[in-house]
Amino acid sequence: MDDNLITDQNTKIADLLERMKQFRDNRGWDHQDPKDMAISLVLEAAELLEYFQWKSGEEVEEEARLKGAIADELSDVFWWVMTIADRLNLDVSQAFIRKMAKNAKKYPLEVFNPSVSQDIQNKEYYKIKAATRGGHPLAEKEDQHS
């Protein structure tokens, strides 16, 4: 398919993973240290932030010249998401669906919906953050992550 015709609606994650692997493997980048890859992901996210620095969200939305640059940085972040997942043998789609299920429990619809005031939602949000940041995955038993 012509690259100009590729959209989110007609493309599978598997297609993008294949494209990423081809690009990566042709360059011999398939044995990078996952630690360096995670750092690279955050660096690309920081590059994305540059376009928002000193501007309101509204100003960014209105500035058409920034859209291409923002799309490039989002793509760089996505590159690292895909490469890290592949390096660690994680299925991105499965991971995303599982995390969404966790988020649905963490942020129950009865509280987190447009009919509930922002103030109440914020209070609940901070309660959840306080409760969830008390733990660490390596502090739990291994069989809890299978």
Cβ pair 3, 58 in contact under 8 A:
no
Does 51 interact with Mg ion (rule: CB under 5 A)?
no
Per DSSP, 9 falls in state: T
- Which C-beta is closer to Mg ion: that of 44 or that of 85? 44
* Cα 105 to Cα 100: distance, rounded to the nearest angstrom: 9
Which residues between 53 and 72 bind Mg ion (CB under 5 A)?
none
Q: How far is the CB of 79 from Mg ion (least distance, A)?
A: 9
Residue 47 interacts with Mg ion (CB under 5 A)? yes
In the numeric block, the tokens 């859209």 are attached to 67
Say if CB 130 and CB 106 are below 8 A apart: no
Spatial contact of 70 and 44, defined as CB atoms under 8 Å apart: no
Q: Is 40 in the site for Mg ion (CB under 5 A)?
A: no
Give the count of alpha carbons within 13 A of 81, CB side only. 14
**Smallest gap, in angstroms, from Cβ of residue 44 to Mg ion?**
5
Among 17, 51, 76, 111, binds Mg ion (CB under 5 A): 76
To Mg ion, the closest distance from the beta carbon of 50 in angstroms equals: 10
User: Measured from the CB atom, is 32 or 121 closer to Mg ion?
Assistant: 32
Which residues contact Mg ion by CB under 5 A? 44, 47, 76
